[in-house]
Amino acid sequence: MEKAIDVVYVLGTGSRWDNNEIRFSLRSLEKNLKNMGRVFVVGECPGFLQNVIHLPANDEFNPNVNADGNIILKVLTACKHEQLSEDFLFINDDHLVLKSMDANEVPPIHKGNMQKFPEEYWRLNYWRGRLRRTMETLVELKLPCYHFDCHTPILFNKTAFPEVMTNFDFKDGIGLTMKSLYGNLMYAGKGVRVKLKGQKRTVFHNYTLQQLDERLAGCDFMSYNDQGLNRSLKRWLFRNFPQPSAYEKNDISDRIIDIARWMDSDRDYCKGVDLFKKHMKGINLIRLFEEGETPGLRRKLEYKFERLFDE
């Protein structure tokens, strides 16, 4: 039997969605990740979580300057915990596993040799400046320079991770990117790596529900950011992972999810009117809907809810 692999999340503050990101990430793991062990949450712990091991930790660095430094320190905190499995899966709260797989077999995915990236690649945003600094550090130490920071989970070893990080001054300035440090020493340095070729898709822009279905079809992993977290993505997340996991004390309470749940059900008219009264505006429409169901009023109610996801 394969060994159980614990999972480590690190959380800061300022979730755009009341920390529901980790709620759906955990639903995806419970559904798709075999041989999953305990769940560790380092940093903030949302009140709706249960059956997790919480390790409180503050951010030492300004997250707008050295976010990766804070993440590394929190992972180091997890590595000190005696109950953490020797090998563990590090995953962000906005990452999901979309296909059935064994936790022991999550591959170390990379996006190629950073030394071959074009100059314009490094100019896109602030974070890529940190990634470039990581590449330059690896080059200086004559180490491989593969880009492992590609928004996928990665397996770490609780003994090796602290040893790897002692080789780098990740606290200085804008810091260094964690996965590329570990991946190049522990994976690329031993010839173990998997090139990204469609196993993962990002949602970093606004997409419709149909576009999301097409974009994410066949993927092993997906990740998103605040720019991608629109109403259609919330509906997609609920549609694909509707059931609360064992790590939730209660189900999600969210305007968009409430409406998505109704639209994916038998669409009981009276319940729909109650939802409209709770979440939507329009006194005259509410009075009209309350007069009782007709085919025309049902179509109007459904149209109003559908339009919500097109805005």
CA 100 to chain centre: 17
Question: Percent helix, strand and coil across the chain, each rounded to 5?
Answer: 45, 15, 40
Same domain, 236 and 294: no
Assign residue 29 the CATH number of its domain. Answer: 3.90.550.10
Domain ends where: 196, 214, 240? 240
How confident is the model at residue 1, as a pLDDT? Answer: 60
Instruction: Check residue 6 and report its DSSP letter.
Output: E
Is residue 247 in some structural domain?
no
**Contact call for residues 126 and 86 (beta carbons, < 8 A):** no
Question: 143 is in which domain, residue-wise?
Answer: 5-240
Same domain, 195 and 274: no
DSSP string, 47-66: TTB-SSEEE-----S-HHHH
Instruction: Check residue 113 and report its DSSP letter.
Output: B
**Contact call for residues 270 and 297 (beta carbons, < 8 A):** no
Q: How far apart are CA 277 and CA 304, in angstroms?
A: 12
Same domain, 44 and 191: yes
Same domain, 266 and 222: no
Q: CA separation (Å) from 173 to 131, 143, 240?
A: 13, 21, 41
Helix, coil or strand: residue 112: coil
Domain ends where: 186, 213, 240? 240
**Contact call for residues 75 and 164 (beta carbons, < 8 A):** no
Same domain, 218 and 304: no
How confident is the model at residue 13, as a pLDDT? Answer: 87
Fill in the amino acid letter for 236. W
Q: What is the pLDDT along the chain (311 residues), one digit of tens a residue?
A: 679 999 999 999 889 999 999 999 999 999 999 999 999 999 999 999 999 999 999 999 999 999 999 999 999 999 999 999 999 999 999 999 999 999 999 999 999 999 999 999 998 788 999 999 999 999 999 999 999 999 999 999 999 999 999 999 999 999 999 999 999 999 987 888 899 999 999 999 999 999 999 999 999 999 999 999 999 999 999 999 999 999 999 999 899 999 999 999 999 999 999 999 999 989 999 999 999 999 999 999 999 999 988 76
How confident is the model at residue 210, as a pLDDT? Answer: 93
Q: What's the pTM value of the predicted model, to 2 decimals?
A: 0.94
Is residue 216 in some structural domain?
yes
Provide the 10 A C-beta neighbour count for residue 136: 14
Same domain, 194 and 273: no
Angle (nearest 5°) at CA 167 between 163 and 171: 105
Print burial letters for 44-62: b (CB count within 10 Å at least 16), e (below 16). bbbebbeebbebebebebe
Same domain, 156 and 40: yes
How confident is the model at residue 311, as a pLDDT? Answer: 64
